[in-house]
Structures are given as C-alpha cells and as structure tokens.
C-alpha cells in the first residue's frame, strides 16, 4: 500500500487527534500506517476498515483515556492489533500497559510495531487472558471486541484480584449486555456497573464504555 492511499484524517478527526495525541500525533500516524499495511497483510485488520481506521478504531479507542487516572497500570485483554492498548500507550506515555494476546502471529506484529514506535511503556504478554491471572498486577483492564460482557467478566475481572476497574468498549447493546451478565457481576463482587460515554466533545460518534468497578 502506497502513501497516497493511506487513510487521511477528516477535519473533525484531525481536531480530535491533535487534542488527544498532541505532539505524539506523528507517532499515531505511523501506527495507523502499520495497521493499513502489514496489519491488513497479516489479517489483523480487514481491508474494508482502512478508510475508517482513524474514526472507528484509533480515536474510538484513544478517548477511553478520559477514564484512566495518571500513572496507572493497565492490562489490555485480547489486544489483537493493539486496540485499544497501543492507542492508549501512544496518547498517554505515563501509563504502564501490558498487551495480552494469545495468537503468535499477532504477538509478532505487536512486537514489531512497539519496537518501531519506541513505546517503552508497553509490555507484550503472549497468553490467554484466563492464564494471565496472577501474572500481572494492574489497576485497569481494557477490552474491545473480545466477547459479550457475560463472557468477558470471567476472563477480565479475576485479573484485577479484587480491586480495580474493567473498561470495556461496547456498542448500543451495552445495557442489554449488563443485564445478561448481572449474576456474574454479583459473583465477582462488582460495586458499580455503569455505561459511560467518551469523546463526546471530540467525536461525531462518542465511544460507549461499560465500566465495572470492584
């Protein structure tokens, strides 16, 4: 893929990207280039997603940082193409982020991207989420497009060891997913479960987040 057909920022997206990434916007652009080239070649991103990489993927993920405190530690479960983990790592160099991904080909790609971008705040752990319990000590767990909440809580909340927050990027069915997962949420001792919106002042379509606090 040549430079002239890489996805470009629209006016609204550019304003949002400059606000979120600041001086690290050029680093984000390099990440998007990885997604649009080797990410597609290796099957991490579908080719139809290229025009929507900024709005639907990168910015959609990066705004989650609104709900993450300074200098926090995060485990990104099922990180895949680094969504949202790498977006958060670029936007917030103060964060300590562990990308948890079981598939070797994805881990190899993540390693290459992290090295190229020089992201010293990222660790990559090749593991299934349920096997990573006890291997990381974090304050937040993030997840996007991993599974419905009823299944997601089983592989994310135990990582927090009884304290912390799950920030799961969800769609319009967030409320329904919470209802279906209520028994499990009670089982794991969830104190609060909320549907939040991120990027309301920046994005045409704000990001919906389910926040589970232990």
DSSP of 143-172:
EESS--HHHHHHHHGGGGTTSSEEEEEE-T
For residue 4, pLDDT over 90 is answered with no
Torsion of CA 195, 45, 160, 121, to 10 degrees: -110
Backbone angles phi, psi at 5, to 5 degrees: -115, 15
45 domain residue, yes or no: no
33 domain residue, yes or no: no
The pLDDT tens digits for 20-40 are 999 999 999 999 999 999 999
Residue 107, domain extent: 63-213
Query: Which residues, including other chains, have CB under 8 Å from residue 12's CB and lie 6 or more apart?
Result: 203, 204
Q: What is the pLDDT of residue 87?
A: 98
Rounded to whole angstroms, how far apart are CA atoms 148 and 167? 13
Q: Name the residue among 97, 93, 88 with its Cα closest to residue 63.
A: 88
Task: Residue 140: give its domain's CATH number.
Answer: 3.40.50.150
Percent of the chain with pLDDT over 70: 98
**What does pLDDT average to over the chain?**
94
State both tokens at 69.
Answer: 């405190």
Residue 208, beta-bridge partner list: 170, 197
Beta-strand relationship, 122-126 and 96-101: parallel
43 domain residue, yes or no: no
181 domain residue, yes or no: yes
For residue 3, pLDDT over 70 is answered with no
The residue that leads in pLDDT, 100 or 2, is: 100
Domain count of the chain? 1
Burial status of residue 211 (CB atoms within 10 A of its CB: 0-12, 13-18, 19 or more): middle
The pLDDT tens digits for 123-171 are 999 999 999 999 999 999 999 988 899 999 999 999 999 999 999 999 9
126 domain residue, yes or no: yes
173 domain residue, yes or no: yes
Q: What is the pLDDT of residue 5?
A: 61
83 domain residue, yes or no: yes
Max CA separation in the chain (angstroms): 52
- Do the beta carbons of residue 101 and residue 110 sit within 8 Å? yes
């Amino acid at each position: 893929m040549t430079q002239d057909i890489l996805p470009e920022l629209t006016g609204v997206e550019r304003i949002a990207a400059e606000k979120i990434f600041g001086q690290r916007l050029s680093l984000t652009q390099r990440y998007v280039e990885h997604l649009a080239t080797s990410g597609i070649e290796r099957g991490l991103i579908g080719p139809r997603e290229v025009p929507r990489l900024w709005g639907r993927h990168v910015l959609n993920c990066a705004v989650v940082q609104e709900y993450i405190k300074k200098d926090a530690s995060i485990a990104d479960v099922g990180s895949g193409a680094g969504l949202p983990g790498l977006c958060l790592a670029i936007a917030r160099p103060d964060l300590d982020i562990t990308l948890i991904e079981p598939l070797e080909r994805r881990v190899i790609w993540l390693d290459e991207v992290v090295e190229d971008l020089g992201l010293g705040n990222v660790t990559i752990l090749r593991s299934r989420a349920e096997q990573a319990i006890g291997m990381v000590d974090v304050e937040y767990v993030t997840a996007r497009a991993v599974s419905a909440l009823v299944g997601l809580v089983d592989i994310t909340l135990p990582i927090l060891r009884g304290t912390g927050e799950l920030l799961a990027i969800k769609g319009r069915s967030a409320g329904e997913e919470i209802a279906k997962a209520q028994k499990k949420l009670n089982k794991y001792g969830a104190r609060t479960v909320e549907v939040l919106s991120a990027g309301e002042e920046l994005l045409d379509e704000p990001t919906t987040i389910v926040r589970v606090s232990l």
